[in-house]
Structures are given as C-alpha cells and as structure tokens.
Amino acid sequence: RLRGAVRIPTETFDGAPTDGSDAWYDKFYALEDYLQNTFPDVFAALKLEHFATHGLLLTWTGSDTSLQPIILMAHQDTVPVPDETIRRWTHPPFEAHLDAEGWVWGRGVGDCKNLLIAELSAVSELLRTGFTPTRTVHIAFGFDEEGGGVHSARAIAAHLEDVYGLDSVLLIVDEGGGVQPDYLGQTWVLPSLAEKGSVNIKVSVNVPGGHSSIPPVHTAIGILSALVSTIEAHPPRLALSARNPFAAFTMCLAEYGTIDDELRGLLAHERTWPAAAEVMASRDPGDAARLSTTQAVDIVGGGVKVNALPEEAHAIVNHRVSADDSIRDIYTRYISLLSPVAAQYNLSVVGFDKFPPVGATRYLQLSSPSGAEASPVTPATGAAWEYVHPLIARRRHFFPDAIVAPYLSTGGTDTRSYVNLTRAIYRFQAVREDQRALIHTVDERIHVDGHLSTIAWVHALIQNADAFRAE
C-alpha cells in the first residue's frame, strides 16, 4: 500500500498555481484513484468531501455527535526531486524499492505518505474487525503543504470551523516528532507541542545595466554576494525561554538524561539559561535550530546573458521563526544589518512594504510576500494531554525505559490552519528516528517496521479517543 502511493509522483513546487482546479494539479487524481482502489472499504464507509478540488476530507461519523471529534491529518504532496540529483539516488525516487533489510526507498515515503497510508490502513483494520466509533473521526489530507498557493488545508479547516465552531475539537494529530533512541542515555518519545513560524525574505539588488566589456568593480551579483555574506555572518540570537516548548524538553533532559554537570547546572536556573543555550547549540545543530530563528539562503538569481551586466540580482532567505522572535523583529534586523552594506555600494534601501522611488536606479529592495508566526503551544496539561500522554507512553511496550517529553517542530505543518479548532494539536509519528532517514533529500527512506508501528499507533489512538470522556 505504501509503496504504491510512493510510485505516484505528487511533487509540489514554489510558485505553483493558486487554483486547485488548475490542470497543473491533475497529478493528484491518480493518487486519489489509487487510494480509493486500495481502500475501498474505507471510502465506502466514510463520507468523502473535496476542497480546492484535491483536498480530501473523510468523515467517520460517531454514534454520539455530542462528543468532540478528533482530526487525523497528513498531506498528499511531496517536495520535488531535482533532475540533477536523480543519479545520486541508490534506487530511483519513484520506484518505491523494498530492499532485503526492510527499507522502502522513495520521495515522500517518510514525508508524508507513511502517515497518510497508516491512517487509512488503521481505519481499514478497524472496519474489518467491526469497530464503529462513538466519537466522530475526521481524516484530512491537503495537497500543497510543501509549497504552492492553494492553501488546501485552510479550506478544509474553514469548513470544519463552520460545522463545529471554534475550540470544538478534542485533539488533532499530524506529522511531527518521533521516537529518538539512545540520545544522551535515554530513549525519548517526543510529541511536538508547537512549531516554528516561517517567513521568506527576498533581498534584491537593482543597479544600471550595460555591456559586460566595460564592467563596474562590483556587479549586482557581486553586491548581492556581499549582502548574503553579511546575513550568514550574523545569525539570529539564541534563546531558551518558557515560551518555547523545547524548554520543557530540556528540563526532562536535566532530570533523566546523561549530561555533564556543567550543562545540568546551567539548566537548573532560568538566569543561566542563556549560557545553557550556547552550550547546547554548540553541541547539536538540531538543538541550535530549536533555540533560535534560523536562516537559510535557498534561492539565488540574477543575470540573463553572459555579455550583459545584470540589472537585478536577488536571494531568497527562508527563516523558521522562534517563539522568542516575530516576523516584525526579523524585518527590523534586516534593515539594521544590511543598511551599512547598501551604503558602502551606494544603494538606497527600500524597506518592507515600500516601493522604490520613481526613476531610482540603484537600490536594495527588501520584501516578503507573507509569513506565519510561531504557532500557539499545546498545553502539557488538561484533558487532551491526560488522554494523549499515556497513549504516547504506550510506546513503552516497545521501549520499556522511554521518557515522554514535550518537543518543538522546526518545520511547519498544515496544523497552522487548524489552530482555531483546538489548542490540543500533537505533531507525532510513532516511528523511531533510526527507522526513517533523509527526509527532503536524496535517498529518502523508511523501514517497514516504522510504517507498521505508525499504523499500530493510529489504530490505538482512534480506539482510545473513542473511549475517552473528560471528567
């Protein structure tokens, strides 16, 4: 089932059409057909609705509609496979090769078709055994989580808000943290209680053109290089604070992890958390990402012909926004950081939400089409947590000494569109981190055992949610 889904390319690109009915998205018809043919029992028993053409919402109506529903999420799309990387794959990215050691290789097998197929497989198994829910279960599959501008998750969420109202859902589960074995002396089960925000900043250098036989000392591309170097030489500050759910993980780490006395001492008092953040960031790039707003220069462009001076050159920088920062803080930082460099090259600065003066020929333009602040934090207390925490802890059947700890997702998910429906949003897949590898890059893969454990956990989640009653 999983391999069949991986064999259907569903790549999404930045700048894709904003209309879900556009023929560009017709590739998703093939995936829906495959799902309906593979899970005929599920599509016969559950109500199917479409949003933005290819967004899918399956509803398993419970016998007691007074109970708050639950929502299980995944997304149908994947990041692209650049043509120039195909030869570097051990197995072709859309072959879904199953090797002798139990690994399934392919684009999207870990993000996010494992979870999508696991949710449908769990429902199929429950139907086979005659289970009928008391509590309504929704399964929501958007199709442009990795990019594109349709915002299919937003369309599904808006519909559910119309049906149920605000704060009306018991809990939501989507992709996110997993099981981290053998990390600092423990096995950790890590549901993410929040995710960082995201914003893209375009840095554009605009200068007069001309013939490349009579060049200036610095072309637009050369000036852009200086600006990019300045950005990378000044990363955002580190911060460890109670606003960040990663702080709760560090408290668990101090109590249960095998860490040195220096770090344990720094974590013991909030006044020494800044020093603790420096130590943790220096030791682990993942921890560094969870302790700051990150920046990655991902796209550059400029120049159209080898003998023509570029009149424009640009870079796009992706930031994942910490709970200790805001998008406005990032804007302010760019103005402060890059204005001296612009002055060095005789460029005026056109800040965010502004336009260059008429007739201007030398300027640095900073822009950002849109962004999302860091998400609200799911409480590690209350009815939903008291229900979910023991269920997540059931992973101890597999890992007897595992520690359950709150965590932070560095990437974004479709849950950002669902925050009005509940505060109880858990980003978690019951997969050991050593059973999935190389998400978003060459040789993405997941072990069959990881896929089976995801199915088993969703199977248990639905049944436990059905039995749960808030006191």
Q: Which residues of 60-91 are buried (b: 16+ CB within 10 A; e: fewer)?
A: bebeeeebbbbbbbbbbbbbbbeeeeeeebeb
Bond before 112 cis per omega within 30 degrees: yes
From the candidates 32, 111, 119, 145, give the one annotated as an active-site residue: 145
Any catalytic annotation for residue 77?
yes
- Tokens 């000044």 — which residue? 234
Any catalytic annotation for residue 64?
no
Q: Could you give the 3-state DSSP secondary structure of residue 29?
A: helix
From the candidates 32, 77, 175, 414, give the one annotated as an active-site residue: 77
What share of residues in the chain are helix, strand, coil (percent, to 5)? 35, 25, 40
Residue type, 47: K
Q: Which two tokens stand for residue 23?
A: 């023929």
Query: CA angle, 257 as apex, 256 and 259 as ends, to 5°?
Result: 135
Query: CA angle, 199 as apex, 196 and 203 as ends, to 5°?
Result: 145
Nearest Cα to 356, choosing from 205, 199, 201, 200?
A: 205
Compute the distance between CA of residue 157 and CA of residue 65 in angstroms, rounded to an integer. 19
Residue 134 · residue 460 · CB < 8 Å: no
Supply the residues annotated as catalytic.
77, 145
